[in-house]
């Protein structure tokens, strides 16, 4: 039987997964709370939580122009966001590993073909900002501005009206990325992805948290999946 301590240790990751699927902190956390009382007993705690969340969301309507095979989105997030092996992701989704591999491949192709959007990058490190620009452009999106401070981010967002914001948390002397995003969202309903080397620090269950948190460093496929999920979820991560 899974102990309370084991569940507490893996809850932040389960909440991140559920939130990425639903697009909001409230909906994601509600699903996690629902599945806690009926976890599969034949899986380790972390995989059991993922499996319960998958079961609760596999038939949910997913907005956006790109359609994937059943459980394709789940496999994308499990293998990129949650960094599971294909074998573990197959266990979580209840699919044969070969079937899971085929659906994952189809889902990746669908994401690569997704419609592009205008992206604002909030990042104070010039080298990282340029790397992000290259990756975002490589995913088919257009970078409409790079901001190194809270004030600059707010100004660029007002002028360029991006379709997605990609924000670092710590802007050094330029302030805080979360504060910048809160100010941007006061005047627009744009999806946001937060980028940090320490995502666990944003998943503490204390107060409002972002819906999309991407770990540094990351690769082009991971970024493509995150941008697609954030755009098509169509919801705002912070009030």
Going from N- to C-terminal start, the domains of the chain cover 4-112, 118-221
Rounded average pLDDT over 27-54: 90
A 10 A CB-CB count for 220 gives 13
Identical fold between 4-112 and 118-221:
no
pLDDT of residue 125 exceeding 60, the answer is yes
Task: Specify the pLDDT at position 235.
Answer: 47
pLDDT of residue 162 exceeding 70, the answer is yes
CB 164 within 8 A of CB 120: yes
Q: For residue 37, what pLDDT band results from cuts at 50, 70 and 90?
A: confident
Closest by CA position to 226, among listed 154, 149, 144, 141: 141
Q: For residue 204, what pLDDT band results from cuts at 50, 70 and 90?
A: low
Rounded average pLDDT over 199-208: 57
A 10 A CB-CB count for 192 gives 26
CB 114 within 8 A of CB 63: no
Give one DSSP letter per residue of 57-69, joined into a string.
HTTS---SS---S
pLDDT of residue 120 exceeding 50, the answer is yes
Closest by CA position to 229, among listed 192, 196, 197, 200: 192
Domain 4-112 is of which CATH architecture?
A: Up-down Bundle (1.20)
pLDDT of residue 51 exceeding 70, the answer is yes
Question: How many angstroms separate the CA atoms of 43 and 41, rounded?
Answer: 6
Question: How many angstroms separate the CA atoms of 29 and 110, rounded?
Answer: 28
Distance of CA 23 to the CA centre of its chain: 8
pLDDT in tens, 52-68: 999 999 876 554 444 56
CB 226 within 8 A of CB 211: no
Q: What does pTM read for this prediction?
A: 0.62
Q: 26-30, 74-78, 155-159 — which is least confidently predicted?
A: 26-30
Q: 27-41, 109-123, 196-210 — which is least confidently predicted?
A: 196-210
Task: Specify the pLDDT at position 198.
Answer: 65
CB 91 within 8 A of CB 39: no
pLDDT of residue 224 exceeding 60, the answer is yes
Q: For residue 239, what pLDDT band results from cuts at 50, 70 and 90?
A: very low
- CATH code assigned to 118-221: 3.40.50.2300
SS3 131: helix
């Amino acid at each position: 039987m899974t102990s309370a301590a084991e569940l507490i240790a893996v809850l932040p990751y389960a909440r991140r997964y559920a939130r990425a699927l639903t697009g909001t902190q409230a909906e994601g956390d509600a699903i996690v709370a629902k599945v806690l009382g009926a976890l599969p007993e034949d899986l380790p705690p972390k995989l059991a939580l993922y499996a319960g969340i998958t079961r609760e969301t596999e038939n949910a309507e997913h907005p956006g122009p790109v359609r994937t095979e059943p459980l394709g989105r789940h496999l994308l997030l499990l293998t990129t966001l949650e960094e599971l092996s294909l074998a573990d992701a197959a266990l979580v989704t209840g699919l044969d590993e070969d079937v899971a591999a085929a659906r994952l491949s189809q889902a990746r192709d669908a994401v690569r073909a997704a419609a592009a959007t205008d992206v604002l990058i909030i990042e104070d490190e010039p080298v990282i900002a340029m790397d992000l620009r290259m990756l975002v452009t490589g995913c088919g999106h257009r970078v409409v501005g790079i901001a190194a401070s809270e004030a600059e981010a707010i100004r660029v967002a007002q002028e360029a009206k991006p379709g997605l914001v990609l924000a670092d948390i710590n802007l050094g002397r330029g302030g805080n990325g979360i504060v910048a995003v809160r100010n941007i969202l006061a005047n627009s309903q744009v999806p946001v992805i937060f980028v940090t080397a320490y995502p666990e620090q944003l998943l503490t269950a204390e107060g409002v948290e972002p819906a999309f948190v991407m770990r540094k460093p990351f690769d082009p496929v991971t970024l493509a999946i995150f941008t697609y999920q954030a755009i098509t979820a169509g919801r705002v991560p912070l009030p």
